Amino acid sequence: MRYRSRRIIRALSTVFVLAAISASLAQASATLLLEEPYGKLGFFTATGHAAVYLSGVCAETPLKLRPCAPGELGVVLSRYDGVGGYDWVAIPLIPYLYAVKRPEDIPLFADAKMTAFLRDQYRRRYLEAVAPDLRDGGTPGGNWYELVGSAYDRTLYGFEIETGAEQDAALIAHFNSLPNKSHFHTVSRNCADFVKDVINFYYPKALHRSVFADVGITTPKQMAKMLVKFSKRHPELEFTRFVIPQVPGSAARSTAVHGVVESFFKSKKYFVPSIIVSPIFAGCVAAVYEGTGAGRFAPAQNALVFSAQRGLEAPLDAEDRRSYASELKHLEEQVLTPDGGADAKKSWEHMLNGAVPEMDAEGRLSVLISKGEGVVRMGLSADNVLAESPSHQLTEHLLEARLQEELRRGAPPKASENQVERDWRLLQQAMNASREQVIAEAAQEKPGRGRISRTAFEEIEGP
């Protein structure tokens, strides 16, 4: 009975969380998602990816659209090559970003193994029509993995513009009436072309490619620039910019998104040899780069931060970041790793190498970790990291690694002020629990002589 009550409470809390996120975004809107490139890429693929999030459109199936019911968050429509032969696929917002259904199930720290596990779990439940199992029940190849968990690989930028219910209804009818068959082409029918067509469906001629800056190829960055310009010409339409930070983890951080000429100009691998082979060509590239202002568009400028739990929030400002970073460094020196132990992020990455991800009884992410001669289960989301922890010192290292990533210098913002405050509180709670755990263990080993210095376990005070 108690278990059932917890399930009901969790279900209701999820509804309230999703409603809060929905309220923080426009009532009906179209958001161009500009997604940074990741991995070892050439100058063209450094242009990243583009998708479009529609807050008033939902998915009856990944291949059929419908109007959203109250409280639903809408879908992300995207075009990828090699996904079941389809031209587009619709994925709900939270799964598209994090490969989980509920915001509270997002892991605090992820590695490649965990990301692959979450993606495959979601595929098996919801995407069999798009990416079916292999004959032996194994996971298929192809680009289907790009459809879920995008924020594990890269940072995304949102450019949200107001739309209307009638426009949403027209788009739903249009998409559902056309054959959904891929004719992907890198130059003429890529992901940015798809986004251009969707936004132009709502606002004709709002977006167009650049003949000079991108040599006629439609790029994600150009589409974002055009939407910003369109919003300035139409101040009557509500417009918002926000950042969706890459989830802290062992994956390399994604890199800045560029246009075609900008990518070539900023790539020493390609541009420097071109100067030697053809100085005239290199000079033309430099002139186009400077003349078009390709490098002056900053996606993160004046952007809010997206929180899956609370919607759009103010980013952590520079002064608070320095204060938190200073306090965390002090804790690392005095409490967390006082003997000069390994960097928390590297230590936690090493711990995860031999770990096995799994879902707990309530469908929340956990990980099985070898400890001594046995195996222990540890929760990895904010919802279960304290409730399901065999060692609160492990939890400390996990939260330390997450905070290190959130407090890194540089643009774009890595977290909102509220997100950092939450993680700081979790670290405080883990350290308090660790203190009690150590005291209890010492008392058991030496009855009557279990006194231990409290200096190293003082409660964390906010900076």
- Is residue 238 located within the same domain as residue 344? no
Distance CA 214, CA 167 (A): 30
Q: Residue 456: its pLDDT value, please?
A: 37
- Is residue 26 located within the same domain as residue 101? yes
Provide the domain limits for residue 449.
Answer: 314-457
Q: Of 46-50, 89-93, 383-387, 400-404, which one has max mean pLDDT? A: 89-93
Does the structure show a pLDDT above 80 at 457? Answer: no
Q: Residue 286: its pLDDT value, please?
A: 54
Mean pLDDT for the stretch of residues 269-275 = 54
- Is residue 331 located within the same domain as residue 236? no
Mean pLDDT for the stretch of residues 196-204 = 98
Does the structure show a pLDDT above 80 at 343? Answer: no
- Is residue 321 located within the same domain as residue 402? yes
Q: Residue 57: its pLDDT value, please?
A: 98
Q: Residue 41: its pLDDT value, please?
A: 59
- Is residue 236 located within the same domain as residue 385? no
Q: Residue 11: its pLDDT value, please?
A: 45
Mean pLDDT for the stretch of residues 60-66 = 97
Residue 408 within a domain = yes
- Is residue 111 located within the same domain as residue 253? yes
Higher pLDDT, 432 or 454: 432
Mean pLDDT for the stretch of residues 271-297 = 59
Question: In degrees, to the nearest 5, what angle opens at C-alpha 32 toward C-alphas 83 and 37?
Answer: 60
Strand order in the sheet with 311-313: 89-92, 75-78, 49-54, 29-35, 156-162, 239-244, 304-307, 311-313
pTM over 0.75: yes
Does the structure show a pLDDT above 90 at 371? Answer: no
pLDDT digits (tens, 9 = 90+) for 24-58: 455 799 999 999 999 865 545 678 999 999 999 99
- Is residue 207 located within the same domain as residue 338? no
E strand segments, 46-198: 49-54, 57-61, 64-67, 75-78, 89-92, 156-162
Residue 9 within a domain = no
Name the domain boundary from 239, 274, 307: 307
- Is residue 189 located within the same domain as residue 118? yes
- Is residue 352 located within the same domain as residue 218? no
Cα–Cα distances in Å, from 321 out to 215, 405, 431, 434? 40, 11, 21, 26
Q: Residue 231: its pLDDT value, please?
A: 97
Q: Residue 63: its pLDDT value, please?
A: 96
Choice among 57-71, 327-341, 354-368 with the minimum mean pLDDT: 327-341
Q: Residue 327: its pLDDT value, please?
A: 93
Which band of pLDDT confidence, cut at 50, 70 and 90, is reported for residue 7?
Answer: very low
**Per-residue b or e along 176-189, where b marks 16 or more CB atoms closer than 10 Å to that residue's CB:** eeeebebebeeeeb
Name the domain boundary from 307, 323, 340: 307
Q: Residue 334: its pLDDT value, please?
A: 77
pLDDT digits (tens, 9 = 90+) for 99-108: 999 999 999 9
How many structural domains does the chain have?
2
pLDDT digits (tens, 9 = 90+) for 116-136: 999 999 999 999 999 999 999
Residue 147 within a domain = yes
pLDDT digits (tens, 9 = 90+) for 14-23: 444 444 454 4
- Is residue 341 located within the same domain as residue 239? no
Higher pLDDT, 246 or 40: 246
Between the CA atoms of 400, 403, 408 and 410, what dihedral angle is there, to the nearest 10 degrees? Answer: 170
Does the structure show a pLDDT above 90 at 243? Answer: yes
Does the structure show a pLDDT above 90 at 267? Answer: no
Residue 345 within a domain = yes
Q: Residue 359: its pLDDT value, please?
A: 84
Residue 266 within a domain = no
Whole-number average pLDDT of the chain:
83
Residue 161 within a domain = yes
Question: In degrees, to the nearest 5, what angle opens at C-alpha 83 toward C-alphas 169 and 133?
Answer: 115
pLDDT digits (tens, 9 = 90+) for 430-446: 888 877 766 666 666 65
Does the structure show a pLDDT above 90 at 386? Answer: no
Task: Tell me the CB-side half-sphere exposure of residue 364, using CA atoms within 13 A.
Answer: 21
Residue 412 within a domain = yes
- Is residue 81 located within the same domain as residue 172? yes
Choice among 86-95, 124-133, 357-366, 378-387 with the minimum mean pLDDT: 357-366
Q: Residue 279: its pLDDT value, please?
A: 63
Cα–Cα distances in Å, from 144 out to 114, 152, 392? 17, 15, 37
- Is residue 57 located within the same domain as residue 166? yes
Mean pLDDT for the stretch of residues 216-235 = 94
Which band of pLDDT confidence, cut at 50, 70 and 90, is reported for residue 353?
Answer: confident
Task: Tell me the CB-side half-sphere exposure of residue 412, using CA atoms within 13 A.
Answer: 31
Residue 282 within a domain = no
Q: Residue 346: its pLDDT value, please?
A: 77
Name the domain boundary from 285, 307, 329: 307
Alpha-helix residue ranges (DSSP H) falling in 111-240: 112-126, 150-153, 165-177, 191-202, 220-233
Q: Residue 445: its pLDDT value, please?
A: 60
